[in-house]
Structure 1
Amino acid sequence: MWDAPEPEPEEPEPGCEVPCSASCHAQRVLQTLNAYRRSGTLTDVLLRAGGRYFSCYLAALSAGCVYFCILFAAFWLASLAERCGRVLRQAFAEVAHHADFLELAPEEVAALLADPALGVAREEAVFEAAMRWVRHDAPARRGQLRRLLEHVRLPLLAPAYFLEKVEADELLQACGECRPLLLEARACFILGREASELRARPRRFMDLAEVIVVIGGCDRKGLLKLPFADAYHPESQRWTSLPSLPGYTRSEFAACALRNDIYVSGGHINSRDVWMFSSHLHTWIKVASLHKGRWRHKMAAVQGQLFAVGGFDGLRRLSSVERYDPFSNTWAVTAPLLEAVSSAAVAPCVGQLFVIGGARQDGGNTNKVQCFDPKEDHWSLRSPAPFSQRCLEAVSLEDTIYVVGGLMDKIFTYDPGTDVWGEAAVLPSPVESCGMTVCDGKVHILGGRDDHGESTNRVFTFDPSSGQVEAQPSLQRCTSSHGCVTIVQSLGR
């Protein structure tokens, strides 16, 4: 039998790969991969099946099973999209000038503008990007103005820029839906920002940032009055020393922020002194004195004015209330409390002032909630608190009041709209006479006295969105009965 000669192997075309057809080679590759898999060498995916875990190779699973091929492809695309989105946000100042930005859908632009981690140094860049997108096709896009402007943090614009570039803009002037946002920003410039307002909070990568200022207080044993004033930036966990309050140290004073300045009053029996820390000048300035000396009282800002509420004069609890006008630098007497109290919790919310609990004249504690309407100059009682305590603190965030202190281990909530009390979370331990403020959308609880009567340096945050309490880095020193407020400060200062 004649055997036909075997054909000559064809030469591969340049640039083409020759598949390996030898079974021994394929078997050797699979055996090596399996040995690698058993030892965990170079594996890139972990599967769980029947309670057991298997280290595998993404490429091998995809090649042998259509299901895994589709699954991993989708995961890779989602991961790629996430990375691209992150780069887009971080480089927003440059991306916003690219032609492709002008072709984004309205919901994509709104999502970008709403991101708190947008990579901009100043909010002017965000406003200009929004207006550039609208003007690219103004007839079709002017209906999106309100939707986009909601995500621009107008109170963070320079006042002169807001006046010249925003309020004078013809598109915005013709947009009736935008007017409430412009009025809100104007009120913020005149009366001061509310820490609970999202549009007043700096974005994460801005030159500006919210910082917590801790002022004075008592040392661990309560014997020494601390002279320090320090600013804390939670994002970087950095402390910065501020000028100390001049003249003398004090405790159980009242502290409050108004128009990004810090006011401190009292601190001694019958003390009428009021000092203002100017965040612009970075110094303390003495302003008009209170009519009535007071101690263990509280101050709060409502509609651009300060209110000094209640307190103790060494002989009796006070029902008197005074109102401070920063433009005229004068104090005026307003309607008195329905019940005289000291060491109460005081917080502004929905344009009103709420005084919660506190010590009564007879030495006992009250659970009364006294509400003041500045427009009517009138006090009324609301639903009583589920506790009768003193040495309380309160803040408001998104139309809800949060109360801690009184050696309680819970965070209580009060909703002025429904007049209903609730419990938000449990603290790791009881505390009183602590610092409490809102920063970056969270409630911060700093220092205070524990159930042994000693000051602590512990710090906790409560996040209303998750309902979780988390421990934070400690204060620089143990302190209680101190001032604690939030202001906006340049990180370069």
Structure 2
Amino acid sequence: MAESQQKTVVLQGLDAGMFGDILSYIYSGTLHVSLNKVQLLYQAADLLQLDYVKDTCSSYMAMNVECSTCVALYKFADVYSLDIVRKACLQLIDINFVEVASSEEFCSLSVNQLTEIISHDELDVKDETTVWEAAVRWVHNCRVDRQHHLPSILPHIRFNLLTPDDTAAISEHPMVKEDPGSSEVIRNGVLRGASNMKPRFGIGAEKMVLFFETSPNPNRMQGINPRIGQSFSIHFTEIPPIVSATVTSDNEIYVLAKESEDQMSLLLYKQMKSVWEQMSVVEKLPGLIRNQHLLALDGHLYYLACDWTKPSHIVRYSMKRYHKNTNSEWQDCSQLKDDISDMEPSLSNGCLYLLCSRELYCYNPTEDRWFQRAPPTKSTHVFWTNITLGTEIFRTDMNFTSVSVYDTEADRWQELPAWKSPLEAEDRDYNANFFVFENQLHVYLDAAKCKYRQVLVYDRHEGVWRESEYTLPDVYWDCSPVAARVYLPGVQDRCANTQRTIDAGDTAV
């Protein structure tokens, strides 16, 4: 090589500051990554063929994608073929399409990047005109250079989702009328060929509360919307028994399923295809497992297991975490060392709380540490369930006779007024479960002894429980219910290994 004969070698395209960071890493083994320099650092590592630094940077980008940076990171990932970063960016763009499409950065996309995005089923838009308007804005940003791309963009507009008036308006748009090729696409291709295009996620989605049942039926997911009285039921025969479920902040539905006596599968529900995709396998935590939980917090999924030792009935919690955007291995978290009574987890203010009848602990993910918080003011012998609403955590016993709320910011407990049950005392053998729907606290009461089912809604202004007008169908569950926006057309029979059923009392959707 010519450089071997030179006293000084000039490294073209290498930022001096990044080279200094890499030298520091080579000598110290420590790499400092931040959002303002991660792309430059990756480029330097790519030039120097430092795979560890590249992997660290790509994982960091995937874990720190935000709405304000998703387009820029998507373009960068597209150039360097960083699949995990592209996937994380596209997912965020799909969810926040309206906001992203109105940004200046959106107009800097290439035509191939634009058409990839607007071809997605997962776009969260209420109507197809939003997609058309985004495409128009992109062309207008540099019309002289982009007008000729319009015929290749139009096939990705789902004309079957537009009203006749909207379609006519597009056909009469100046950009279309001035371009014979675009008019030809609409007349001869798009209108006839788009009839089988499915609705976008945002058009077909509805907020639902999801219940998961594993016995006596195969895995069954039931969804209900108490406000409009809508429900569905769907069986999944192709996956192991579900033990816990969670919904992420970007509306992804994950479950833990029992793969074997030693392993659990982490599955992601692909709503537009109505199938489950295995994302990871986690070793079941050791000991006699009494309860297992899956929770989502700040891009991580947490697997908690309650180890119940006999005959002392001492309970210990163990925990692992997994970042959903990096496909990394499960990592052990700091363990709670105290011997505790039976507990249930909850999330609030970026922390994880373990709540029981007499103790309350808080886990800080940033510090990987546990802290003890104010214990409940009223001990409950049989603590049943809890849920988070904003910065408050609500808890109740099994029979819904004692309800209290914990303020995570004030570190303070307060008792809530009891509900006056219409049942006789001997019949109040409830199975109570909280759920939050449209920012309101609900409780589903099921008294199997007298076949009584009722949904109550908590009126925070009046401080009272009110009976809901909507009566649920027969709902059973093996893990706590979760709320998510669900693509309702996705429960149709579009998949050979998914069987949809409508139960008695259910409303077909």
Alignment partner, residue 16 of structure 1? none
TM-align CA RMSD: 3.6
Give CA deviations for 1:218-246 in whole Å, capped at 9, x if unaligned.
6xxxxx46632111122221111234363
Question: Any conservation in 2 of the 1:269–1:295 contact (CA below 8 Å)?
Answer: no
Query: 1:222-261, aligned counterparts within 5 Å?
Result: 224=216, 227-244=219-236, 246-249=238-241, 253-258=243-248, 259-261=250-252
1:382 partnered with 2:376: no
Alignment partner, residue 211 of structure 1? 208
Over 3 Å counting, the alpha-carbon distance change for 1:491 and 1:216 in structure 2 is closer
1:350 partnered with 2:340: no
1:298 partnered with 2:293: yes
Question: Any conservation in 2 of the 1:254–1:296 contact (CA below 8 Å)?
Answer: no
Displacement after TM superposition at 1:287 (Å)? 2.6
Q: Distance in 1 between matches of 2:218 and 2:308?
A: 22
Q: Distance in 1 between matches of 2:340 and 2:214?
A: 21
Alignment partner, residue 26 of structure 2? none
Give, as a single letter, the amino acid of the residue that structure 1 aligns with 2:394: Y
Give CA deviations for 1:416-448 in whole Å, capped at 9, x if unaligned.
111111123324556776443211111122355
Alignment partner, residue 482 of structure 1? 479
Which deviates more from structure 2 when the two are superposed, residues 409-418 or residues 254-263? Answer: 254-263
Query: 1:453-492, aligned counterparts within 5 Å?
Result: 457-472=453-468, 473-477=470-474, 479-490=476-487
Give CA deviations for 1:387-439 in whole Å, capped at 9, x if unaligned.
24455222221211111234342321000111111123324556776443211
Question: Any conservation in 2 of the 1:243–1:283 contact (CA below 8 Å)?
Answer: no
Query: 1:69-468, aligned counterparts within 5 Å?
Result: 158-166=95-103, 168=105, 208-216=205-213, 224=216, 227-244=219-236, 246-249=238-241, 253-258=243-248, 259-265=250-256, 272-293=264-285, 294-312=289-307, 317-329=315-327, 330-339=329-338, 344-357=343-356, 366-385=357-376, 386-390=378-382, 392-428=384-420, 434-447=432-445, 457-468=453-464
Q: Distance in 2 between matches of 1:399 and 1:254?
A: 23
Over 3 Å counting, the alpha-carbon distance change for 1:474 and 1:235 in structure 2 is closer
Displacement after TM superposition at 1:310 (Å)? 3.3
Give CA deviations for 1:337-387 in whole Å, capped at 9, x if unaligned.
243558522111111111101xxxxxxxx5110100111100011111222
Give, as a single letter, the amino acid of the residue that structure 2 aligns with 1:256: T
Over 3 Å counting, the alpha-carbon distance change for 1:335 and 1:308 in structure 2 is same
Partner SS, residue 163 of structure 1: helix
Unmatched 5+ residue regions in structure 1? 1-154, 171-188, 190-204, 219-223, 358-365
Give CA deviations for 1:228-268 in whole Å, capped at 9, x if unaligned.
21111222211112343634445xx3221113122222569
Give the TM-score normalised by structure 2. Answer: 0.49
Over 3 Å counting, the alpha-carbon distance change for 1:256 and 1:428 in structure 2 is farther
Question: Any conservation in 1 of the 2:211–2:476 contact (CA below 8 Å)?
Answer: no
- Count of residue correspondences: 289
Q: Distance in 2 between matches of 1:314 and 1:303?
A: 32
Q: Distance in 1 between matches of 2:326 and 2:291?
A: 26
Query: 1:13-28, aligned counterparts within 5 Å?
Result: none
Higher relative contact order (CA closer than 8 Å, sequence separation 6+):
2
Q: Distance in 1 between matches of 2:331 and 2:105?
A: 37
Give CA deviations for 1:133-183 in whole Å, capped at 9, x if unaligned.
xxxxxxxxxxxxxxxxxxxxxx9985344223146599xxxxxxxxxxxxx
Partner SS, residue 417 of structure 1: coil
Question: Any conservation in 2 of the 1:448–1:480 contact (CA below 8 Å)?
Answer: no
Partner SS, residue 99 of structure 2: helix
Which deviates more from structure 2 when the two are superposed, residues 160-169 or residues 382-391? Answer: 160-169
Displacement after TM superposition at 1:269 (Å)? 6.8
Q: Distance in 1 between matches of 2:451 and 2:333?
A: 35
Q: Distance in 2 between matches of 1:238 and 1:156?
A: 29
Unmatched 5+ residue regions in structure 2? 1-91, 108-121, 123-201, 422-427, 491-509
The structure whose residues are more often helix, as a share, is: 2
Percent identity between the two aligned chains: 16
Partner SS, residue 102 of structure 2: helix
Give, as a single letter, the amino acid of the residue that structure 1 aligns with 2:362: C
Q: Distance in 1 between matches of 2:279 and 2:351?
A: 25
Question: Any conservation in 2 of the 1:394–1:401 contact (CA below 8 Å)?
Answer: yes
Question: Any conservation in 2 of the 1:392–1:405 contact (CA below 8 Å)?
Answer: yes
Question: Any conservation in 2 of the 1:290–1:331 contact (CA below 8 Å)?
Answer: yes
Question: Any conservation in 2 of the 1:209–1:489 contact (CA below 8 Å)?
Answer: yes
Q: Distance in 2 between matches of 1:418 and 1:288?
A: 38
Which deviates more from structure 2 when the two are superposed, residues 409-418 or residues 296-305? Answer: 296-305
Which deviates more from structure 2 when the two are superposed, residues 408-417 or residues 439-448? Answer: 439-448
Give, as a single letter, the amino acid of the residue that structure 2 aligns with 1:462: Y
Q: Distance in 2 between matches of 1:164 and 1:478?
A: 40
Larger Rg: 1
Question: Any conservation in 1 of the 2:263–2:281 contact (CA below 8 Å)?
Answer: no
Q: Distance in 2 between matches of 1:348 and 1:299?
A: 11
Displacement after TM superposition at 1:299 (Å)? 2.6
Question: Any conservation in 2 of the 1:441–1:463 contact (CA below 8 Å)?
Answer: no
Give the TM-score normalised by structure 1. Answer: 0.51
Question: Any conservation in 2 of the 1:310–1:337 contact (CA below 8 Å)?
Answer: no
Give, as a single letter, the amino acid of the residue that structure 2 aligns with 1:486: A
